[in-house]
Amino acid sequence: MMMNFRSLAVVLTVATLMADPDIAAAQPAAPPVAPGTAPASAADATKRAEALVDKAKSLYLERKYQDAEEALLVAWELNPTFDVAYNLGNTEYQLKKHKEAATYLSFALRHWPLLKGVAKLKPNAEKWLAESRAQVGAVTVTISMAGAEVLVDGKSVGRAPLEGEVFVDPGEHRIEARHLDYEPASQTVSVAKGATAEVKLSMALAKAEPRASAGVKTEGGANASFAGAGAPVTGQPPAPVEPPPPLPGKSWVPAIALGAASVVGLGVGIGMTVASNAASDDVDAQGSAIIDAGGQCKRPPSAFVDRCTELYDAGSREETFGNGARVAFAASGVLAVAAVTYALWPRPKARVAAPLRVLPEVGAQSAGVTLLGVW
């Protein structure tokens, strides 16, 4: 709900007077509207409310709380904004009307603006609400049908869903819900001082009323009914269709696990690549040393047998680490694809398709991925 800047300015002016709890001010609009007449426009209503708030402010400072209350109640009807609710709640608090004070102060706090200028007033509202709340009871009302009128002890308090709690005097109260197309529902609860009672009302569709048969008067004065016209409605109205239960939300644990495993595979692949490169450098160095010494390893002389054996071992390590690196990189890619596929795959609506299968293919000189599934 928006608050006009003039009303806010009045609240900020009042803030300077709040140091003493006995000197709080009230705020909104102009002379009361004559009974049976409506404001010419929203702007006119706002101006009237501002004039009334200014008037209430003066009355409040003179400790004429009842007169200030009357002015603020009219202002509230004209312009039900946070600032009017704050001043009205403060005034009701001074009059020890704790139920009304809790109602208006809770509204003000729910709609408190994020402005530094009024932040200093919020602790006062919270304090007055807590003290008033401790003297009354509260009822939270949940109605199965949105738009149903909610009544407490026969008095309307709004339409479902209600924005906040309904504050009541301690004792027994009747909570009722009414809607044109539904059967009324009610519940009686007992609320203790400072306690909260919970009321949940479920409304059923109203039964269709039988319609009277339609007829036409004949020349002889008798009424002749049309065949089938206005026949009574039989059976029950169709029950409201229950919406299907919501599908469970997607779990992100598999995607996170697959992503983490992909990172590990990537790290292993990098490590094996480094080891394979080191073994390759060792092969090159040993091969060059054997050639420089005039030897060869195809049919090595006895003097070069050991050195050729070391060369073959280094070559074997190079191949082993290289193959391991390819497998690790392929596995990392597979896991990354699986993680992304899982994250982007739409949640099934009716039937679950066959799961996607990712199969790595690794050869001596290549590596790849095969995807198997149904689309």
**CB 219 within 8 Å of CB 211:** no
pLDDT score of 85: 92
Helix (H) or strand (E) holding 319: helix 305-344
pLDDT score of 256: 87
**CB 167 within 8 Å of CB 201:** no
Q: How far apart are CA 120 and CA 216, in angstroms?
A: 76
Q: How far apart are CA 32 and CA 46, in angstroms?
A: 12
Return the C-alpha torsion angle 319, 325, 330, 334, nearest 10. Answer: 150
Q: How far apart are CA 88 and CA 74, in angstroms?
A: 10
Q: Which domains does the chain have, with CATH numbers?
A: 1-134 (1.25.40), 136-206 (2.60.40.1120), 253-283+318-372 (no CATH)
DSSP type of residue 205 = B
Q: How far apart are CA 4 and CA 7, in angstroms?
A: 6
Helix (H) or strand (E) holding 68: helix 65-78
Q: What is the pLDDT of residues 70-116, one digit of tens each?
A: 999 999 999 899 889 999 999 999 999 999 999 999 999 999 988 77
E runs forming strands in the chain: 137-143, 149-152, 155-159, 166-168, 171-179, 182-191, 196-201, 215-217, 223-225, 357-362, 367-372
DSSP type of residue 29 = B
Q: List, for the chain, all residue ranges whose pLDDT scores fall below the cut of 50.
A: 1-39, 212-238, 350, 352-353
Q: How far apart are CA 49 and CA 29, in angstroms?
A: 2
Q: How far apart are CA 313 and CA 287, in angstroms?
A: 12
Distances (CA, A) of 124 to 79, 121, 189, 370: 22, 6, 31, 68
pLDDT score of 338: 81
State whether residue 362 is helix, strand or coil: strand
Q: Which residue, 364, 263, 270, is CA-closest to 320?
A: 364
Q: How many beta carbons lie within 10 A of that of residue 362, not counting itself?
A: 16
**CB 160 within 8 Å of CB 178:** no
Q: How many beta carbons lie within 10 A of that of residue 306, not counting itself?
A: 10
pLDDT score of 74: 94
Q: How far apart are CA 252 and CA 261, in angstroms?
A: 14
